[in-house]
A and B are shown apart, each in its own frame.
Chain A
Amino acid sequence: MSEIKDCSFPENGLEVVVEIKNLAHVANAQTQVLSIARKLCFSEIDAHKAATSASELASNLVHHTLIGGTIRIRELRKEGYVGIEIVSNDSGPGIMDVEQVLQDGYSTGPGLGSGLPSIRRMMDELEISVIDNTNTCITTRLWCPCE
């Protein structure tokens, strides 16, 4: 986030929704994020961080939800910054202990248990909201300075 670049934006922000039902869809989420981040003039490493985060969220949807979910990728703008927002949405069964899933090495599935903690390390913002265990929404954002 050190370099400041001049970016020209399309009029209406970029937005893509990727449906995640099986492992084959995970790569789709990766490539979509990568292409949007590049369009927004993110540095390669930031684009990779965002895409890897999307990939973690997408594999979580495959391994930990009942019927999969969606990943929404969207361009954000605020004074002097351009951002990318990745929202993972599913309909259950929710997260038992939000604090615990943010600890390295905790996993209830086949993974390493470092998905969500590493998203927190890679991205600028991470919000987890679980409503009634039927609506889990994980939102993460990465900002990049921009004129």
Chain B
Amino acid sequence: MITTDISAKIENFDITKDVLNQLPCMVMAVDRDFNVLFLNAVGCKWLEEDLENLEGKKCYDIVQSPHCRTDNCRVKQAMENDRVYVWRNKMTAAGKTFPIEYTAAPLKDKEGNIVGGLEYVVDISERVKIEEEVRAHSRTIMELSTPVIKLWDGIVILPLVGVIDTMRAQQIIENLLFSIVENEAAVAILDVTGVPMIDTSVAQHILKTVSAGKMLGAEVIITGFSPNVAQTLVTLGVNLGDIKTSGSLRDGVSKAFDIIGKKLV
């Protein structure tokens, strides 16, 4: 058997105990009434408990989490449904609260009867921190990427940069429409110079923006289609016939001044 082999190779090493104890996560086993049967060394360290003192203690006496003593407790569910659960939670132990991911499984005797539950708990503070950073970044990008600029009395301009997905397109429409109202704009310029690609759903959003703009009494001019985008749009069969477009932003601005009855000199 593999266990005896390794134990023989390494002196003073008990595979079942030492591996479990040195595993860098908390491992705990309880009986059906949540009396602690076992807690590995890392668990003892987290909870600042000694294994000997745990005799007769319930798991919810030494660990506090929102799931404890409720039907949400995955260990309870694991025992009841004979299933393995993986769940995120937070845990308070020895005065500290941190985010965890815990895996709960039923504990079985040799005959396969469920005699309790076991769980291993991983501290995911680092992971949660990184996820929060990613979320913060995407929020920042969202806000950075849709600035509406007032160019002149009655003219607003929205320069678009980067890949537009439907989510961003939605936000762009909203921002533009709000600023049309806010600035009492007669013309809105949507500059797509920085957009590498336009597919049918983005094209549809552009069409919607134009008609919504018209309803608010503003003319929407699309500027800065790149040759690649223009060629693809033609193949897409999207009809931009009724929409004012200009090759360059400069051209679009001059058209906008025409509309509000001013001239660039």
Contact = CB atoms under 8 A, between A and B. Distances in A.
Interface stretch (B73-81, B92-100, B143-151, B235-243): B235-243
B197 interface: yes
Contacts of B198: 52
A113 to B, nearest CB: 8
Contacts of B229: 48
A45 B232 contact: yes
Q: Give the contact-size bracket for chain B.
A: 20 to 34
B197 A111 contact: no
* Of B167, B196, B199, most A-chain CB atoms within 10 Å: B199
Interface in B166-200: 166-167, 196-200
A121 B231 CA distance: 12
Contact of B196 (A34, A114, A122): A34
B235 A121 contact: yes
A37 to B, nearest CB: 12
B235 A49 contact: yes
Given A112-B204, A122-B232, 15 more contacts: A23-B167, A26-B201, A27-B163, A34-B197, A45-B231, A48-B196, A52-B198, A52-B199, A52-B232, A55-B201, A111-B201, A112-B200, A112-B201, A112-B203, A114-B200
25 contacts: A26-B166, A30-B199, A34-B197, A44-B228, A48-B197, A48-B228, A48-B231, A48-B232, A49-B232, A49-B235, A51-B197, A52-B197, A55-B197, A55-B201, A59-B199, A59-B200, A104-B237, A111-B201, A112-B201, A112-B203, A112-B204, A114-B237, A114-B238, A115-B200, A118-B200
